[in-house]
Structure 1
Amino acid sequence: MKPRFALGALIVGVPLALALLGPLFAGDPGPRAASFTLDGGHWLGTDFVGRDVWWQVLLGGRSVVLVALAATVLAYLVALPVGLAGALTHRTWLEELLMRPLDVLLAVPSLLMILLVASVFTPGAVGLALLVALVNIPDAARIVHAAAAEAASRPAVEALRMQGETWWRTAVGYVGRSVARTLAADAGVRLTGVLYLVATAAFLGVGVEPDAADWAVMVDRNRTGLFVQPWAVVVPALLIVALTMGGNLLVDAVLEKRKRT
């Protein structure tokens, strides 16, 4: 096992394990204590309202991880067919119809769009995943389109068309496989951006309750006691950073291995 892959797996494994398995072991939080304390009954101390920080850490990762993964998958489910269709079509008007509206959406900052929509209605976790996916679709589709355009111009694609192959086999079976490395690299970077966007939205109170057990909310609500009880802020912040760093290391290791083979 390569050192980079092992390091990435270790870094990302800790927050993933806490996010997915933590709720199974959280148990009863017990009675609340004084706010921002570091007494022996709470080995990571208490938060701004006296809740056990470790209990919140065990519960707070699932929302961040699941929303980020769902948003990334949803973005690609739309971006892949749109980008491939734009690259493979011979009709310029259809390519313009597919790609130009995405440029308009790219002009609006992602967080601003989320806040504007959130000001109209209050999204839950599902709504936040849909919003984050929506703001990632334009950029993802453009990357798919740019990566697929070169492969779509190869003689092999024209030969497949002349043989009467289906659009699915041409787009996914040939062009899609040709751009798989580019999309894998983009997926690693995109998941990092999505994680930060989800965490920032939760930090601002979008998609989660103000007192929810959520790593991003923990950072927001406990920052006033950072110098009194730092673990309530440092631990969830480090877990979010570990998710993004570990994910990128894993993707880099996989791409490096495929390049050598």
Structure 2
Amino acid sequence: MSNAVSMSTPTLLGRSMRQRRLMIGLVLTVLVVLVAVVGPWVAPHGEHAITGDPYSSTGALGTDYLGQDVLSRVLYGGRSVLLIALAATVLGMVAGIIIGVVAAYVGGWFDEVVMRLNDVALAFPQILLTLLVLSTVDQPTWWMIVVLVGIGHAPRVARVARGVALGVVRRDFVTSAEALGESRWRVMFAEILPTMNAPLLAEAGLRLTYSIGMVAAIGFLGFASDPGAADWGQMINENRLALLVQPWGVLAPVIMIGVFAIGTNLMADGITQLYAKESQ
């Protein structure tokens, strides 16, 4: 099994490089990540530096509601948003994959109970539950946002993982591994899980898109982990009242979030198409 996977890796990589949608999405995503990572070192001013009057045309993109340079705030504001979104995506994917694969492999009443509870969790809007919890604390922390967004992703990932795993758990190589006396955990995560890479990667791209939107929405609604720091979602809220006077305080972070969302969506679509071609 492992030999077959390793032998097909170069072929899959070559097809990935020829998948235009996947490559465009990758380029867009990497560009936004580079802006977030390198931005603080190339920003023309400090994160909190006052460079002019509020909503003036000073600087490349003007100033915000306090007179801070918008370009510098955008360059500083992406790192925390992307890191929190990435951590929440990883948490949600790991939790959801474990739930889905275990439910599919064990089956029976365990699968039924787990998936019905999963359906109950899916019935509640993710953003409302997150805001409900955050509204009960004085100041949300970054790890609290990661946990809430990640837990919100887990039921959706679990349903996808279970659906994919159901088509794998009764295949010959799984039966052979069981006959050789391998433990259930090894069968699930060393035999079944590697065959699920492509659809789970596509799902991870979608979850990352939702994560960045959730984290930005949390900042926009005033629940950012650091109210004084530059944050793309928070910037939109801070400058929205002067949208017609100085639009870049709102448009610049919106563009960054939008490009990142488009990039990750294109990557997810490209991986899905690649998986479909591989399955034919």
Same fold (TM over 0.5): yes
TM-score (norm 2): 0.85
Mapping for residues 17-166 of structure 1, pairs under 5 Å: 17-26=34-43, 27-28=45-46, 30-39=49-58, 42-90=59-107, 92-121=108-137, 122-166=139-183
Write the distance in 2 (CA, Å) between the matches of 1:107 and 1:247: 25
Q: 1:251 to 1:139 in 2, by over 3 A?
A: closer
Write the distance in 2 (CA, Å) between the matches of 1:148 and 1:5: 24
**Amino-acid identity (%):** 35
2:192 aligns with 175
- Give the aligned CA root-mean-square deviation in angstroms: 2.0
Write the distance in 2 (CA, Å) between the matches of 1:4 and 1:93: 41
Amino acid at match of 2:154: I
Measured after TM superposition, the shift of residue 123 of structure 1 is: 1.8
2:12 aligns with none
Write the distance in 2 (CA, Å) between the matches of 1:255 and 1:112: 30
Mapping for residues 181-220 of structure 1, pairs under 5 Å: 181-220=198-237
Write the distance in 2 (CA, Å) between the matches of 1:59 and 1:35: 19
Measured after TM superposition, the shift of residue 78 of structure 1 is: 1.3
Amino acid at match of 1:228: V
Instruction: Please state if 1:243 is matched with 2:273.
Output: no
Write the distance in 2 (CA, Å) between the matches of 1:31 and 1:207: 21
Write the distance in 2 (CA, Å) between the matches of 1:257 and 1:107: 31
* 1:151 partner SS: coil
Measured after TM superposition, the shift of residue 160 of structure 1 is: 2.1
Measured after TM superposition, the shift of residue 77 of structure 1 is: 1.7
- Is this contact kept in 1: 2:96–2:155, CA < 8 A? yes
Q: 1:258 to 1:114 in 2, by over 3 A?
A: closer
* 2:81 partner SS: helix
Q: 1:254 to 1:145 in 2, by over 3 A?
A: closer
* 2:135 partner SS: helix
- Is this contact kept in 2: 1:57–1:215, CA < 8 A? yes
Write the distance in 2 (CA, Å) between the matches of 1:118 and 1:195: 17
Amino acid at match of 1:183: L
- Is this contact kept in 2: 1:127–1:207, CA < 8 A? no
Name the count of aligned residue pairs.
258
Write the distance in 2 (CA, Å) between the matches of 1:150 and 1:76: 19
- Is this contact kept in 2: 1:128–1:206, CA < 8 A? no
Higher deviation after alignment, 163-172 or 47-56: 163-172
Write the distance in 1 (CA, Å) between the matches of 2:175 and 2:217: 46
Q: 1:147 to 1:9 in 2, by over 3 A?
A: closer
Write the distance in 2 (CA, Å) between the matches of 1:5 and 1:154: 30
Structure 2 counterpart of 1:232, from 240, 249, 256: 249
Question: 1:157-213 deviations in whole A, cap 9, x for unaligned?
Answer: 233212212223321232212222211111111111111111111111123344430
- For structure 2, the residue ranges without an aligned partner over 5 or more in a row are 1-16
Question: 1:7-30 deviations in whole A, cap 9, x for unaligned?
Answer: 223322322111111122335354
- Is this contact kept in 1: 2:101–2:188, CA < 8 A? yes
